[in-house]
Amino acid sequence: MQATTLERRKIGALEVSLAGLGCNNFGWRIDTAQSARVVNAALDAGIDFFDTADIYDKGHSEEFLGRALAGRRREAVIATKFGMKFDDTHQGARPEYVLQSAEDSLRRLGTDYIDLYQIHQPDPNTPIADTLGALHQLVRAGKVREIGCSNFSAAQIREAGNCVSVQNQYSLFHREPEAEVLPECRKRGMAFLPYFPLANGLLTGKYRKGQPLPKGSRGDAGWGPRVFTEENLETVERLTKFAESRGHSILELAFSWLAAQPAVASVIAGATSPEQVKANAVAGRWKLGAEDLREIDALLGATIRAGGAS
């Protein structure tokens, strides 16, 4: 099937679709067959950027993604991560561990190269120069194309020096990166990859004020008390009315607002069904102008000042 054409942006030497697929649901929420349906739907919808990590369901996410991409690997840009605790003996960013983790991820993914290999979090026990030395060794060997980081502050980005991307939490409800990290990205020409772009489900359109949380949803599964507060749902109502008055959904608003932010290269959102993937693929096509962005900030108001929903 011919893939739909989506807007494309740069992550270092890589070129990726504006909408990316987060693969953290693979394994613990959906099985290998459903994961394959989601991946193929993504490729057919024009999404070619797939983000996973070694710790997602203890490697099953990478395995399921690798199986799904068998025969279509050249159509995909794969990003994975290392460094968070995999088990009692596997974590961190020591050079020898970096090299072993890469080999493990390559095996699980069923590929001989990783497009974007990311340090999942800073390792306070390992000098970043040592970690980068191992990562550059992987690049020279042709096993990694580009190096990125995740959950890094602006100061840590400066210390790392030559990562092409940073992946941090960012959404309409979580604006922390705007203070220091996004300006640092713009200064360096570095790509920013927002995760949790839908604010743990708040911006999907499934949650409305005065309505029960959908069965089986994140809210129903225990996220409710922290995220789905009356104040947050009131903010969702305001944003929904803003979007609908312009012929769009709140999902489209969430993606398009991120797409309008300088340095954002791809909006990474998870999915458990082909239908979700197809909706995400086209959600960022609404081009928001400066006046739209000012009005959105005004609607968020106290939410921004309070630090968001996370």
- Across the 310 residues of the chain, what is the mean pLDDT of every consecutive 10-residue run? 79 98 97 98 98 98 98 98 93 97 98 98 97 98 98 98 96 97 98 96 87 62 67 94 98 98 97 97 97 96 60
Q: Which residues are catalytic?
A: 56
As a whole number of angstroms, the distance between CA 171 and CA 157 comes to 20
pLDDT at site 229 = 87
Hey, what are 308's tokens?
Answer: 């968001």
- Asked whether residue 3 is assigned to any structural domain, the reply reads no
pLDDT at site 218 = 55
Sign of the alpha-carbon torsion through 12, 16, 17, 20: negative
* CB-CB contact of 95 with 75 (8 Å): no
Specify the pairing of strand 267-270 against strand 19-22: parallel
Domain CATH for 280:
3.20.20.100
- Asked whether residue 31 is assigned to any structural domain, the reply reads yes
Hey, what are 28's tokens?
Answer: 């613990």
- Asked whether residue 285 is assigned to any structural domain, the reply reads yes
Q: Give the residue numbers spanning the domain of 14.
A: 8-306
pLDDT at site 306 = 52
Q: What is the DSSP letter of 220?
A: I
Question: Total domain count for the chain?
Answer: 1
pLDDT at site 209 = 78
- Asked whether residue 191 is assigned to any structural domain, the reply reads yes
pLDDT at site 261 = 97
- Asked whether residue 2 is assigned to any structural domain, the reply reads no
- Asked whether residue 193 is assigned to any structural domain, the reply reads yes
Hey, what are 45's tokens?
Answer: 């919808």
Beta-carbon neighbour count of residue 289 at 10 Å?
Answer: 9
- Asked whether residue 1 is assigned to any structural domain, the reply reads no
- Asked whether residue 132 is assigned to any structural domain, the reply reads yes
